[in-house]
Amino acid sequence: MGYLKYVRELWKQPKANMGDVYKEKLISYRKQPVTVRLERPTRVDRARSIGYRAKQGFVVVRQMALRGGRQRPDIKHGRRSQHSGQRKNVAKNYQQICEERACKKFPNCEVLGSYWVGDDGMRIWYEVILIDRQHPQIQADRQLKRIAAKRGRAERGLTSAGRKSRGLRNKGKGAEKIRPSLRANKRLH
């Protein structure tokens, strides 16, 4: 494995291991747009474990999401204010939301996976690995071609983060109502 083992160790506790470098990185992220295309991944170890290879057809994107529940906008002018201040807990995790937004920004690409790169009190950042569906390098690779053929993986919850938020990683006691899906299981009874 070599050097990737040491990169992984650094990212286990970035605040302690990287100190001021990590803080400066977050400050620079805040000044950038919500979606930023990158030349190469920040965390090579995680990117490679997801399936990233340094060849054409791969796109790396840093995506930001605001933390906290989804808050309704303020209601102005003559309406009952009883329900106006509600926050809604979103069933999806931030990682899945970031994957969906990155996929929306790059409609010709399909999400391979994503990983955490940083967070502060208000925002969280994930790097999303995308593959270009029509690229000859991707079409030549049998495994990637199969993934590229599945349209809308992020939106349908088929990525690793999506499967996690759907509860499909759980097995055993307490996971009886998860398959085939929560909605489908409800319809069975």
Q: What is the pTM of this model?
A: 0.85
Name the domain count of the chain. Answer: 1
Which domain range does residue 15 map to? Answer: 4-70+82-155
β-bridge pairing 109-119 and 87-88: unpaired
In a domain, 138, yes or no: yes
Closest C-alpha to 7, from 95, 115, 154: 115
Closest C-alpha to 154, from 98, 99, 95: 99
Q: How far is CA 131 from the centre of its chain?
A: 14
- Across the range 87-109, mean pLDDT stands at 89
Indicate the DSSP class of residue 124: E
The pLDDT tens digits for 58-96 are: 999 999 999 887 766 677 777 777 767 766 677 789 999
Helix intervals (H) in 32-119? 44-50, 94-105
In a domain, 181, yes or no: no
The pLDDT tens digits for 117-170 are: 999 989 999 999 999 999 999 999 999 999 999 899 999 999 999 998 888 888
Specify the amino acid at residue 99: E
In a domain, 160, yes or no: no
Tokens of 182: 């929560």
In a domain, 86, yes or no: yes
CATH number for the domain that contains residue 27: 3.40.1120.10
In a domain, 164, yes or no: no
In a domain, 28, yes or no: yes
In a domain, 93, yes or no: yes
Distances (CA, A) of 59 to 28, 145, 157: 21, 15, 20
CA 170/CA 189 separation, integer angstroms: 21
In a domain, 177, yes or no: no
